[in-house]
Structure 1
Amino acid sequence: MDSDKYLEGQSMQRPPLFESDSFIYWKNRFETYVKSKDLDLWHVITNGDFQPIIQNPETKLDEVVPFEKQTDDLKRRLAKNNEAKMVIYNALPRKEYEQIFIQVKDNKIDLLVQQYEQFVISEDESIDSAFARFNTIITSLKALDEGYSSNNYVRKFLRALHPKWRAKVTTIEESKDLTSLSLDELIGNLKVHEMIIKKDSEIVKAKVKRKSLALKAKKESSDEECSTSGSENEEYAMAVKDFKKFFKRRGRFVGQPRNNKKTFQRSRYNKNGKSERKCFRCEDPNHFIGECPKPSRDKNQREFVGGSWSDNGEEDDEKSKMRHVL
């Protein structure tokens, strides 16, 4: 019997049969056999089945790919799942298989029940994607346990929806009998509402975009007007500046005071060309106070004629006035 097992394993047609009393020896032989056939098979045996899941490039979320949309490469990878199972089946005697299968089955049911209880739908996930994941869980549960059933699928799916669906969930709960509502009918209802939400969102985004473009155009127009106005003001200031320089060079700028010296000299003569100035002491128009033969009446006046003044502040003020008159 042992020689038959050895020959069976060495033939490379079938993996070595399981030996409970020499588990380590069998394990090493079995691992070597599988890896020599296909490394992908060993990956499936140690890490679990390949899943028909790809990442949505828009939402960055993993989504289950329906069979009709699976590529040939993905189908080849999924086929490795069944090949790995066949290798394990061929390596197990019937009794061992039954014991292991029952244990694996129970573990899978526990895992699926946990996935069912923890099932949630993210904010950006579509109803189709969420339903595909949910349906995989409940279908697998039914396949492993024929006696498993739940009438709570509808309520579970509603509770798993993101809070943004709260208003819709409340409407369904108030208007529908959840005990008689099928899961397919619920999904159809939610997909219609999802399309409405998507359309409303697109309308809002379009309005925001138009408003943003209008504000941008208005700002650009305002900046252009300010730039033009600033340029015109600058040109006007330069023109005024040049205008002032032009007339200043000719002494004819409006507002510029006339020659005070010429005006003062003209004011000293009357219409007949005679001087209107008089001697400060005797009021004789024919001479000035420096040539006046009449003696001064006081000391201060003599000091004034001599060109000297006292240090008194009041006398200094009087001297300033007298000079201004002359």
Structure 2
Amino acid sequence: MVQSIDKPPFFDGTHYAHWKTKMKFFIKSRDYKLWDIVEDGPFVPQRSKAEWSADDRKKMELNCKALHILFCAFGPTINEKMSSCESAKEVWDKLEVTYEGTDEVKETKIGLFTLEYENFKMDPEENVEKMFDRFSTITNGLKGYGEAISKEKLVRKLIYSLLESWDSKRTAIIEAKNLKTLKLDELMGSLLTHQIMKKNKEDEKNRE
């Protein structure tokens, strides 16, 4: 199902790190001031509405808009958990504690993703698409916890994670491409082309 660009990314309680990144970009694309409200506050004025200043009212108006975006992304279960929150920041912080965990939990998850990244190798039984999907899950997990890796390092990691049977292709890419500027989608395209050519050769041999 295709996600409408006019609707916030839906969150059902799973894959929080992935949703969090998408929601950040969605809110920022609507109004960057809304993201400031989510990230920094406002904190609800501790006085009656009659005593609110013009600035208080403006901030609370932005707060309501940010809350509306967030709650439109939730199903009934998440809605119920967040219903007592009065500010967008309170919702965002509660989501992080509930689905991302405390600082200690975060560090543990970062450590696990880092270990998976460092030990990443192409599995003999998987194709390029599955390898890339697995790699993306790991790197997106790290990114979701604030551990972004440079594009150059990601490209190099993927190239050197290929099986020995891909040595000739790896050498060709390293010699022909500038790894500092090579994009992941370009690398993916090159590997997919090579995979198709390898498959065609194998099919020809089998027919003979």
Distance 2:184 2:155 in 1: 6
Aligned to 1:193: 194
SS in 2 for 1:170: helix
SS in 2 for 1:152: helix
| CA deviation profile, 1:44-80 (whole Å, cap 9, x unmatched) | xxxxxxxxxxxxxxxxxxxxxxx77xxxxxxxxx956
1:115 offset after TM fit, Å?
Answer: 0.7
- What is the aligned length? 126
| CA deviation profile, 1:241-282 (whole Å, cap 9, x unmatched) | xxxxxxxxxxxxxxxxxxxxxxxxxxxxxxxxxxxxxxxxxx
Aligned to 1:140: 141
Matches within 5 A, 1:111-122: 111-122=112-123
1:161 offset after TM fit, Å?
Answer: 0.7
TM-score normalised by structure 1 residue count? 0.34
Distance 1:177 1:100 in 2: 40
Segments of 5+ residues of structure 2 without an aligned counterpart are: 3-10, 17-74, 83-92
| CA deviation profile, 1:144-200 (whole Å, cap 9, x unmatched) | 11x533231111001111100001100111111111101110000000010000000
Give me the CA root mean square deviation: 3.1
| CA deviation profile, 1:120-139 (whole Å, cap 9, x unmatched) | 11223111110011011111
Change (3 A) 1:183 1:100: closer
Distance 1:173 1:198 in 2: 22
Distance 1:193 1:124 in 2: 17
Q: Percent identity?
A: 31
Give the 4+ runs in structure 1 shifted more than 2 A.
78-83, 97-101, 147-151
8 A contact 1:123–1:162 mirrored in 2? yes
Code of the aligned partner of 2:148: Y
Code of the aligned partner of 2:149: S
Distance 1:185 1:135 in 2: 15
TM-score normalised by structure 2 residue count? 0.53
8 A contact 1:154–1:183 mirrored in 2? yes
Aligned to 1:160: 161
8 A contact 2:139–2:148 mirrored in 1? no
Code of the aligned partner of 2:185: D
Code of the aligned partner of 2:153: N
8 A contact 1:123–1:164 mirrored in 2? no
Distance 2:157 2:171 in 1: 14
